[in-house]
A and B are shown apart, each in its own frame.
Chain A
Amino acid sequence: GAVVSQHPSWVICKSGTSVKIECRSLDFQATTMFWYRQFPKQSLMLMATSNEGSKATYEQGVEKDKFLINHASLTLSTLTVTSAHPEDSSFYICSAKGGWDQPQHFGDGTRLSIL
């Protein structure tokens, strides 16, 4: 149980393109979903927290107009990197939490490379 699917797993695109990443909880309803960014050989950095049906809460220093988050249902959240540039290249990971007493369960991550 507690499977989180993240898609795509790898994307390469040109600078200026917008890229959408999907995060789905497959066998549970996620009250809260989280988006992280991870640089090589570093830990996870929380970007934003999203609750179904409400606006995402962004961490300090994360541009909300650059990283658009939509949490339209209890099983799906999307992260759109708008007008992506090479500095946005990174490993993005989502997680989903089924309730206050449940741990976060993570997707397999998306490796984004902007040329």
Chain B
Amino acid sequence: GAGVSQSPSNKVTEKGKDVELRCDPISGHTALYWYRQSLGQGLEFLIYFQGNSAPDKSGLPSDRFSAERTGGSVSTLTIQRTQQEDSAVYLCASIGAGRGSETQYFGPGTRLLVL
């Protein structure tokens, strides 16, 4: 596709359930980011993948959050035992080679609501 895509667009789940959010980056982009945006707030960095390097997980808020990037392309963000405070928009972005001079391309986000 032409841009970054994310699925599902919206997800409603019950407290305590696990959810998986998917990100399809731009083909050929080696770096991928996940962010979280709570209502009315700015972007909160969660995790960063760059090629085959170990991911930067420094932004993950708890061990209930994890992410994988298989084959250097698609990424899945998993939230286990969801809590109401996990409700937010989860944004994915990709970048060509992960250099500071490059543009990040954001997906439309997944809106997660935990009841």
Co-complex (A, B): no
**B interface vs A, CB < 8 Å?**
none
